[in-house]
Structure 1
Amino acid sequence: MQARTPAPADDSSAEPAKVGRAEAARWSGALDLLKLVRSRPGVTRAEAARALHVGSGTATEISARLRALDLLAEAPAPPSGRGRPTTTLHAHPDGPLAAVVDLRFADWVAAIVDLEGTLVDSTTGRHASKRPERVFADIRSALGTLAARHSGRVQAVSISATGTVRRNAIVQSSVLGWRDLEVEPLLPGVPQALGNDATLAGLAEARLSHPGRSVLYLTIEVGIGGIFVDEGHAVTGATGAGGEFGHAPLGDPAVPCPCGAYGCWDVAVDGRAVARLLGEDEPEDPRAYLIEALVNPDSRAAVEECSAVLGRGTAGLVNILDPEIVCLGGLAPELRRAATESFVSSYRAGLMGFRRDDPPRVVPSALGPDAPLLGAAEAAWDMILTEGGIAAWTEQRSA
């Protein structure tokens, strides 16, 4: 093969590569600014320039480009003494939106979320039937109605589901009785992500309440779930099914779990565990049963045992994952509070010796029941705020 002669330095054939690199750099700066506004709505343009390590002229140019594409809006910043006036940066009123769904044991929530994380529209519904085709037909109809109100601005759909998620399927949901369920697109032609509810709740807690920290998130609803989030990234494994802490063998090895294993932590800390310890039948609504048991003196011993199992398992995960913070969501803070001594003594006893002098703080959720929906919004905007996502928006607006 004949060797190719290098082009002269001033050859015009080199220009496309230069332009491509320059354009990529400009888009990189634009994405960085959009992500900054998402994490800090109302940041001033001057603050943004400092945070992104760019000059004021570059920040002004990027902001202007994003305004022209309906991606950002600017407003005058309040006067702050001497110096050149600046502006605050916000979601554009006609900008892209994300559609999010929280699919739960008895009901669902669907919402439209803007760049700043504001829920601009929402609706709810209860399961008329647990048949998945009926559930998703209802959600699809409701989400279609919401999206239609916003003139094609929805750029991604993200679903939080109560069940084990692998790639684009709910491989198991014991509380809904589903298995190996592929989730079809809810809005045709719109990119879609599917995530476990505890994973997404933990993602939201870590990013919004403890940014930049490594967080172990644990939540009790029906069973216990959670995720480890390291510097804003959920550790979900090769297929997305990671973080199924509830199916670690931290419970009674003689007790079967609906997942097919024995001794799962999942059935050792919730309403089913309390009922079993009291010699009662498994409750139809384990979550409601646990709420009642937490304030029932006759359930005290069973609640203390479940709290101890929660503390012991938490210590084991701390030893394995080494988080900076442990965040408890759902009913986990209430179980801990109802039998604090049981939790604390089991937690400390389960920690490796070197950790006991300075164990990770155990804190309650700051986001409460909204955490899975907010986590779904985080996942949706992760899809939108990419070069491909912004290119798709730009193409759509110019069509």
Structure 2
Amino acid sequence: MTVPVASPADRRPSVRTSSVRARDARWRGALAVLEEMRREPGVTRARVAQRLGLTTGSATEITARLRELALLSEAPAAASGRGRPTTVLHPHPDGPVVIAVDIRQEDWRIAVAALDGRPRVAEEGTHASRDPGRVAEAIAAAVRRLHGRLHGRLPGRHGGRVRAVSVGVAATVRNGGVTQSAALGWDAVDLAGLLPDPRLPLFVGNDATLAGAAEARYGAAAGAGTALHVTIEVGVGGTLVLDGRPVAGATGAGGEFGHLPFGDPALRCPCGASGCWDLTVDGRAIARHLGEPPPSDPRTYAQAALARAAEDPAVRSAVGRAAAGFGRGLAGLVNAFDPEIVTLGGFAGPLRAAAASEFEAAVTGGLMRFHREAPPPVVPAALGGDGVLYGAAATALDHVLTEEGLSAWAAGRGRPHSESSRAKER
């Protein structure tokens, strides 16, 4: 973005401070309205004004500015008794978007999300190779195709609707990069090549952490101050979410629940440690209990085992042992973190349902006595398989929906927000 040369008056601290405060105050109202639209897609302007304590005139003025900047659009709301007619707020059809990517053990998906934060899957595929370079190049090509369709040209010096790319990956993520992935068989991998334009920001996060953050914002844990999310895909992942923010640890690698030593210490995990919980709960555990070789795709194998469990006692027993191992570990996490609610993602919910008695007995036996009296509810994740995409989109939109992000968007349309507002005021 071009930075204007300051005039002598602009260099005076009092003038500059006043200017910055005025600019920030303008964006604060706009950001508050956009956050309400993001929190509740399809919300009415009247409802937003009520929540934010805005007068009808202020709400009308702010939404008019946001329409002018292609940040939202309005449509008449359905009539509901007496009162002034109002409008429903939606993301503008030409407004900013982010690209969200979900890289799983066997496949990948790419979605686009507007300012309402709801990802819409645009392309998906399976890994043709386990080589990280080839996987990344296939995904990068799909991201470039999507970016090309969305990019467009906007008036002014800057163009492009895509404002960020955010990636959720089944891997340990430290300092914004992939350190290793037991699920994918990767060591450190650079995903910078997924950016279709090097000027865009790239966010990389652990898949389970992003899914847990999304559940706390939009899903089954919405409104909880302390929420625990646990998911099973290939091994166990998850996160502890405090007031809507996942606890990421010192370097971002927090939440690797599957590598807690809750399992058999004689078993060596692909991560390099022994006795990992991962090896006790997923398709590899079920196969081991049945005397079968480790499956190439533990997730698909586990799903098939659940389907066979009702007719095959041996499979039912193996599933029950995995469910008990999961329940014991989950009790340990509840004892450690004291969550208000626990959400289960991926294979965790079906595993619990398939062997409910073994799971419940293991959880109850593992809980401290005071927790047994009032255990936190354990519920299925509301976002299902889309949780990672929701979380990745939310991470990117947190960057877009800032004063700096909206200022850059306004400048890209050829007319800074402050100039637009002053013109309306004159």
TM-score normalised by the chain length of structure 2? 0.87
The answer to whether the Cα contact below 8 Å between 2:240 and 2:246 also exists between their aligned partners in 1 is yes
Distance (Å, rounded) in 1 between the aligned partners of 2:74 and 2:15: 34
CA 305–122 in structure 1, closer or farther in 2 if over 3 Å, else same: same
CA-CA distance at 1:105 after TM superposition = 1.0
Distance (Å, rounded) in 2 between the aligned partners of 1:28 and 1:380: 19
CA-CA distance at 1:308 after TM superposition = 0.8
Identify the range of structure 1 (51-60 vs 147-156) with the bigger mean alpha-carbon deviation: 51-60
Are 2:319 and 1:303 aligned? yes
Distance (Å, rounded) in 1 between the aligned partners of 2:332 and 2:121: 41
Are 2:102 and 1:102 aligned? yes
Corresponding residue number in structure 1 for 2:163: 155
CA 268–87 in structure 1, closer or farther in 2 if over 3 Å, else same: same
Distance (Å, rounded) in 1 between the aligned partners of 2:104 and 2:19: 49
Distance (Å, rounded) in 1 between the aligned partners of 2:126 and 2:259: 28
Listed one character per residue, the Cα deviations across residues 260-319 of structure 1 (whole Å, up to 9, x for unaligned) are 111111111011112222232212221122122222322222221111111111111111
Distance (Å, rounded) in 2 between the aligned partners of 1:132 and 1:253: 30
Corresponding residue number in structure 2 for 1:386: 402
CA-CA distance at 1:118 after TM superposition = 4.0
The alignment of Structure 1 onto Structure 2 pairs a total of residues equal to 388
CA 222–130 in structure 1, closer or farther in 2 if over 3 Å, else same: same
Distance (Å, rounded) in 2 between the aligned partners of 1:121 and 1:279: 39
Instruction: Select 1:331's aligned residue among 328, 344, 347.
Output: 347
Listed one character per residue, the Cα deviations across residues 200-253 of structure 1 (whole Å, up to 9, x for unaligned) are 111112211132212211111111111111221111112111111111111112
Are 2:338 and 1:322 aligned? yes
Report the AA paired with residue 146 of structure 1.
Answer: L
The answer to whether the Cα contact below 8 Å between 1:221 and 1:331 also exists between their aligned partners in 2 is yes
The answer to whether the Cα contact below 8 Å between 1:216 and 1:226 also exists between their aligned partners in 2 is yes
Corresponding residue number in structure 2 for 1:212: 223
Secondary structure class of the residue paired with 1:390: helix
Corresponding residue number in structure 1 for 2:51: 51
**What CA RMSD, in Å, does the superposition of the two structures yield over aligned residues?**
1.6
Are 2:200 and 1:190 aligned? yes
Corresponding residue number in structure 1 for 2:133: 133
The answer to whether the Cα contact below 8 Å between 1:121 and 1:146 also exists between their aligned partners in 2 is no
Instruction: Select 2:297's aligned residue among 285, 289, 299.
Output: 285
1:153-302 to structure 2, matched below 5 A, reads 153-185=161-193, 186-188=195-197, 189-209=199-219, 210-213=221-224, 214-294=226-306, 295-296=308-309, 297=312, 298-302=314-318
Report the AA paired with residue 190 of structure 2.
Answer: E
CA 288–14 in structure 1, closer or farther in 2 if over 3 Å, else same: closer
CA-CA distance at 1:130 after TM superposition = 1.5
Give the gaps of 5 or more residues in structure 2: 1-11, 153-159, 416-426
Distance (Å, rounded) in 1 between the aligned partners of 2:121 and 2:94: 14
The answer to whether the Cα contact below 8 Å between 1:110 and 1:143 also exists between their aligned partners in 2 is yes
Distance (Å, rounded) in 1 between the aligned partners of 2:13 and 2:332: 61
CA-CA distance at 1:119 after TM superposition = 4.2
Distance (Å, rounded) in 1 between the aligned partners of 2:412 and 2:13: 31
Report the AA paired with residue 31 of structure 1.
Answer: L
Listed one character per residue, the Cα deviations across residues 121-168 of structure 1 (whole Å, up to 9, x for unaligned) are 601122111211111111111111111112121101010101111122
Corresponding residue number in structure 2 for 1:114: 114
Distance (Å, rounded) in 2 between the aligned partners of 1:371 and 1:121: 12
Fraction of identical pairs, as percent = 52
Corresponding residue number in structure 1 for 2:14: 14
Distance (Å, rounded) in 1 between the aligned partners of 2:121 and 2:271: 36
CA 13–180 in structure 1, closer or farther in 2 if over 3 Å, else same: closer
The answer to whether the Cα contact below 8 Å between 1:222 and 1:287 also exists between their aligned partners in 2 is yes
Secondary structure class of the residue paired with 1:75: strand
Distance (Å, rounded) in 2 between the aligned partners of 1:284 and 1:74: 50
Corresponding residue number in structure 2 for 1:342: 358
CA-CA distance at 1:101 after TM superposition = 0.7
